[in-house]
Structure 1
Amino acid sequence: MFTIDRRRFLAGSATLAAMASIPASAFARTETIEREAGVKLKLGLNAYSFNKQLREGSMSLTDVVHFCAKQAVDALDATGYYFPGYPNAPTDEYVYNLKRVAFVNGVAISGTGVHNDFAVADPAPRKKDVQLIKDWIVVASKLGAPVIRVFSGSARPTGATSEQALAWMVSDFQECAAFGKEHGVVVAVQQHNDFLKTAAETIQLIDAVGSDWFACILDIGSLRSGDPYAEIEKLVPYAVSWQIKKEVGRNGKSEPTDLTKIKAIIDRSGYRGYLPFEALDSGDAQAKIIAFLDKIRQTFAA
């Protein structure tokens, strides 16, 4: 885990000069989500579950909306990769048609997402990715999606320290969160076993950004060190959405997700909002998704 000596960090050393604009108060509070006590869940489907079909064009996001409606799934997490023209923003005509189809079928658009990389030393590509996030914040706002899913960085940086990369990220995410606030869209980072590998690292980033408009997408399958369920529980207070997956990681090895433990964590911690799931397997995608959906429903109804 990367850590920061805060007195040295805030003293403005040469390697962390980029962080000078961040107020010290950002490191003195914990940016947990304020919500009413108790649990209120709405199931969602992450569009990535139909990745192959959406990539090859045998399905569209509209088709996935109809699938959700038929399966009584509350929402679709409509990842940006599957919109025509990505990474460019889609036309308003496409956005509003998808929004209308979802609305008349009783399916919410619970979020969208892009792929950015802020763990690079060159400011030019980071600036480009900041603009990418801003463009898709506007798309999310038009869709009525309350959150946009983003990433930290694809890997630990070469030629720079993790502290330096964290400094770049905090500045970039503060800019994105401020823009998200202007458009009513929360920017939420998905810890993906990339630059962010642990719950503590994710919380450190969220606290440093220090915005009510910056939070966590809790990806249960990407916490690969130690006890995954302990890691998941640490992140629930920071989560505004999830990615429920069929496998979790324990000390670098995959094992089937114990949904009973996930339910117990949510019951203890309290969570209100969308609970998107993702099912990726070879074979019949619809059958695999329906089987996982049934398992989730049976477990959470218990």
Structure 2
Amino acid sequence: MSQSVSRRSLLKAALAASVMAAGSFIPAYAASLIPEVYSHLFKLSLNLYSFNGLLSRGEKDLFDMLDFCARHNFDAIDPTGYYFPGYPEVPADAFIFEFKRKAFLLGLDISGTGVRNDFAKPDTDSRRKDITLIKKWVEVAAKLGSPNLRIFAGTSSHEGFSREQVFEWMAKDIRECCDYGARFGVMIALQNHNDFLKTADDVDLVFDLVNSDWLGLNLDIGSYRQKDPYTEIQQNIGRAVTWQIKENVWIDGVEKPTDYVKLFKIIKESGYRGYLPLETLGPGDPYEKVPNLLSQVRTALEQV
């Protein structure tokens, strides 16, 4: 027998020893369920909302964005559903597959896609339409090979209803979407967007109410505005399955440049492995802003 012992074996042995010391035991199968500790892996993606103006006006299209991402050596692209022809209706399969084919030939993963919805609305029929929309786009995501579909909590006034009531119906609606996503292998990625969900505690509450393995967090670093954003990120980071890495965060009610080294150290220490989609906002030319953000991010990653 080799004298070298893997880190995984050490973890198993340590856990077994601690449980045995407590007067219990681990069934033989349980040792195989102990997760291995991996090193971090970050893959940079581009959320196409960065080009919202140009895409919405039809001056650029999704295929132009594939070329842009390849030119700047992104690992992936995150094409929001709004930019597909005919949205909110789903695009034709021929379009989906041609986009997927070109992405593959350019070496780009499709890290996610997303839709607009509002589960804060008291009107049941309106929320039912949004559930139908999400289900249709779950199928689009599956065809694209996207591992997740981004959704929102909602922004509508819920006058006459308590926040507790909204959380209850919102969780029920999201759970139905998650159950549908599970049928197609697509996770539902709920975004904290400073809408109905404003704090890390809000995020934790809705996740606990939904209670689904198919729900993950699209962690938007620019939308924690009530408390210290880095503390809020640390609280929610275990739920993150994708991100919106932005130029600025909010501290004490003031928008300040993101400390990318601090941010990526937090993400690295959490054990997160996966995509880090970048998103620029506000005025300016995205053909200048995105490369600038990408350069800052890559410089910071070299220090982590």
TM-score, with length taken from structure 1: 0.87
| Offset from partner CA, 1:228-263 (integer Å, 9 cap, x none) | 100011111000000000010123321111101101
Count of aligned pairs between the two proteins: 269
Q: Which amino acid aligns with 1:198?
A: T
The residue number in structure 1 matching 2:253 is 252
Instruction: Find the counterpart in structure 2 of residue 101 from structure 1.
Output: 102
The alpha-carbon deviation at position 149 of structure 1 amounts to 0.3
Q: Distance in 1 between matches of 2:256 and 2:185?
A: 38
Give the residue type in structure 2 aligned to 1:92.
D
Counterpart amino acid of residue 68 in structure 2: F
Contact 1:229 1:262 in 2 (8 A): yes
SS in structure 1 opposite 2:261? helix
Give the 3-state SS of the residue equivalent to 2:208 in structure 1: helix
1:221 aligns with 2:222: yes
Equivalent residues in 2 for 1:108-187 (5 A)? 108-155=109-156, 157-187=158-188
Structure 1 partner of 2:265: 264
Residue in structure 2 matched with residue 196 of structure 1 by the alignment? 197
Say whether the 8 Å CA contact 1:81–1:114 is kept in structure 2: yes
Shift of residue 76, structure 1, vs aligned partner: 0.6
Rounded Cα–Cα distance in structure 1 between residues aligned with 2:278 and 2:235: 19
User: What SS does structure 1 have at the residue aligned with 2:112?
Assistant: strand
CA contact (8 A) 1:35 1:272 kept: no
Residues 61 and 78, structure 1, Cα contact 8 Å, conserved in 2: yes
- Aligned-residue offset at 1:285: 1.4
Structure showing greater relative contact order (alpha-carbon pairs closer than 8 Å, 6 or more residues apart) = 1
Code of the residue aligned with 2:259 in structure 1: it is D
Q: Using the alignment, how far apart are the partners of 1:35 and 1:224 within structure 2?
A: 35
Structure 1: distance between partners of 2:159 and 2:53: 32
* Contact 1:134–1:179, Cα closer than 8 Å, also in 2: yes
Q: TM-score, normalised by structure 2?
A: 0.86
Whether the 8 Å contact between 2:168 and 2:209 is mirrored in structure 1 is no
Distance 1:56 1:105, change over 3 A: same
SS at 1:296 equivalent: helix
Structure 1 residue 284 displacement after superposition? 2.3
The reply to whether residue 212 of structure 1 matches residue 209 of structure 2 is no
Could you list the runs of 5+ residues in structure 2 that have no partner in the other structure?
1-34
Alignment partner, residue 75 of structure 1: 76
Letter in 1 for 2:77: L
Q: Verify the 8 A CA contact 1:109 1:143 in the aligned structure 2.
A: yes
Q: Work out the percentage of aligned pairs sharing the same amino acid.
A: 47
Q: Return the offset for 1:287.
A: 1.1
